[in-house]
Structure 1
């Protein structure tokens, strides 16, 4: 499976919600307990096209296009996961949802994590995939590549799925260089959410590829902060993390195809649909 397969035509018409000064685009698919699904950087909800039918077969899936991405136009503020997390919390209120599960990948995984940290009363369960809680956990060569992301790179990205998607769906297709500038500025900022994660109250599944943007040990570190991987689990699971947290390192995947994988859909559903 390659990244060129990561868009799909929406099967329902989307809607907009005015939250925090952002005209946030979202689509609703399927029925069941609500799941808010958040895409990666430079993408949109359409990224999940290949696994959406599997998720929507068991849940009402609300695909959100985050600020400046997909069909949501940019606004005059930085691309900041804290602000985007507050947008998602406001959308939960706007839709009148009762503690939906929140699932996110990469940028969306960071946003999902911040929703659970900042608004724990609004979230049922959390799945945070391919999201790093410390900038210095990312491989040095990847940090160097991120440092080259500016609007000037737009010309060189014209054959990429990110550019194709943006040109097809964005309200202002000419803003792609601006999005690159903002993404680059966001990635250049240092961050460390260690202490916030340590106090996380929402049952959380940490997901990563076995060849992700940071080493598997980083995602084990996150699990450790959540009381996981510190003792034998016990015959009856009595030694498992007290908060109901879990960890999944998915084999044979990378940061760039995890969100397409049936494995990602399977572990997400197994965690969200767990009885206790």
Structure 2
């Protein structure tokens, strides 16, 4: 798996398949690494979609267990991650793309839609993260314990004070909704969205459904879709049909459409 280097940032990524580009954002919070999009996810997104799409996934910058690294940008944590994602797509020569994100992928997708709305053709938010008023410091506390100490141990240039400031900016500066955008932004978003709700502490059902109700071009998959596991293939079929409906037509799509038109012609 190759690396993309940009100044002090080094991003470890994977590219498989061919077709229209699909950026896959793994779950795992700030420890988001490529295995979370494959063998640790409800389904292996790369294996599932590489037959139709040019699948790109990556380790999040400074994720534990990953190989991506870079400065801890305390004043702009969400935007630093968006910088990495957009720079990788630029490096690969990709202008427009689809995106599928798990868990932390929800807030990251909303931030991409804010930063580069003309580049995101459609987005799938699976078990998206969001804010729970009854657990206001869930993400701060989890990452302070489960991400920060390991990062400091392998990076002597980063201190726990820096980690705390980073997490404060990320999860306490705007402690509401999806963290990265406002409800007004979601109401105005015209990008087609498919949302697959979950309901565990880090993936609140209420936030997923509120996003779906507010966004004018949003669809919702079945719920629950991960349990029992026999439902997962149905959710995957919904994702596949959604992506097919919104990707720009390529030679294969045009040929298929022409065959359908011929079949319907008198």
TM-score, L = length of structure 1: 0.68
Do structure 1's residue 106 and structure 2's residue 93 form an aligned pair? no
Structure 2, unpaired ranges of 5+: 248-266
In structure 2, distance between residues paired with 1:117 and 1:147: 23
**Offset of residue 62 of structure 1:** 0.3
Tell me if structure 2 keeps the 8 A contact 1:248–1:267. Answer: yes
Which of the numbers 100, 119, 126 marks the counterpart of 1:122? 119
Do structure 1's residue 131 and structure 2's residue 128 form an aligned pair? yes
- The residue number in structure 2 matching 1:250 is 223
**Offset of residue 80 of structure 1:** 1.7
Do structure 1's residue 273 and structure 2's residue 260 form an aligned pair? no
**Offset of residue 173 of structure 1:** 7.2
Do structure 1's residue 44 and structure 2's residue 33 form an aligned pair? yes
- Shift of the 20–224 alpha-carbon distance from structure 1 to 2, 3 Å rule, reads farther
Tell me if structure 1 keeps the 8 A contact 2:195–2:212. Answer: yes
What are the superposed Cα offsets for residues 205-260 of structure 1, whole Å, 9 maximum, x if unpaired?
12222556354332221112113xxxxxxxxxxxxxxx4x3112431648xx99xx
Tell me if structure 1 keeps the 8 A contact 2:24–2:57. Answer: yes
What are the superposed Cα offsets for residues 74-94 of structure 1, whole Å, 9 maximum, x if unpaired?
314137222312321222222
Tell me if structure 1 keeps the 8 A contact 2:126–2:195. Answer: yes
- Shift of the 189–99 alpha-carbon distance from structure 1 to 2, 3 Å rule, reads same
Tell me if structure 1 keeps the 8 A contact 2:22–2:97. Answer: yes
TM-score, L = length of structure 2: 0.70
- The residue number in structure 2 matching 1:217 is 206
In structure 1, distance between residues paired with 2:127 and 2:159: 25
In structure 2, distance between residues paired with 1:19 and 1:109: 25
| 2:15 partner SS | strand
| 2:223 partner SS | strand
| Two-structure CA RMSD over aligned residues (Å) | 3.5
Superposition map of 1:4-15 within 5 A = 14-15=1-2
- The residue number in structure 2 matching 1:169 is none
- The residue number in structure 1 matching 2:256 is none
**Offset of residue 109 of structure 1:** 2.1
- The residue number in structure 1 matching 2:260 is none
Which of the numbers 35, 44, 60 marks the counterpart of 2:22? 35
> Bigger radius of gyration, 1 or 2?
2
- Shift of the 116–275 alpha-carbon distance from structure 1 to 2, 3 Å rule, reads closer
| 1:201 partner SS | coil
**Offset of residue 35 of structure 1:** 0.5
- The residue number in structure 1 matching 2:188 is 199
| 1:74 partner SS | coil
Structure 1, unpaired ranges of 5+: 1-13, 158-162, 167-171, 228-242
| 1:274 partner SS | helix
In structure 2, distance between residues paired with 1:64 and 1:37: 8
What are the superposed Cα offsets for residues 99-123 of structure 1, whole Å, 9 maximum, x if unpaired?
1101111222211221122201112
In structure 2, distance between residues paired with 1:189 and 1:111: 16
What are the superposed Cα offsets for residues 6-42 of structure 1, whole Å, 9 maximum, x if unpaired?
xxxxxxxx11223474222211112222101112211
Which of the numbers 56, 64, 67 marks the counterpart of 2:61? 67
- Shift of the 194–55 alpha-carbon distance from structure 1 to 2, 3 Å rule, reads same
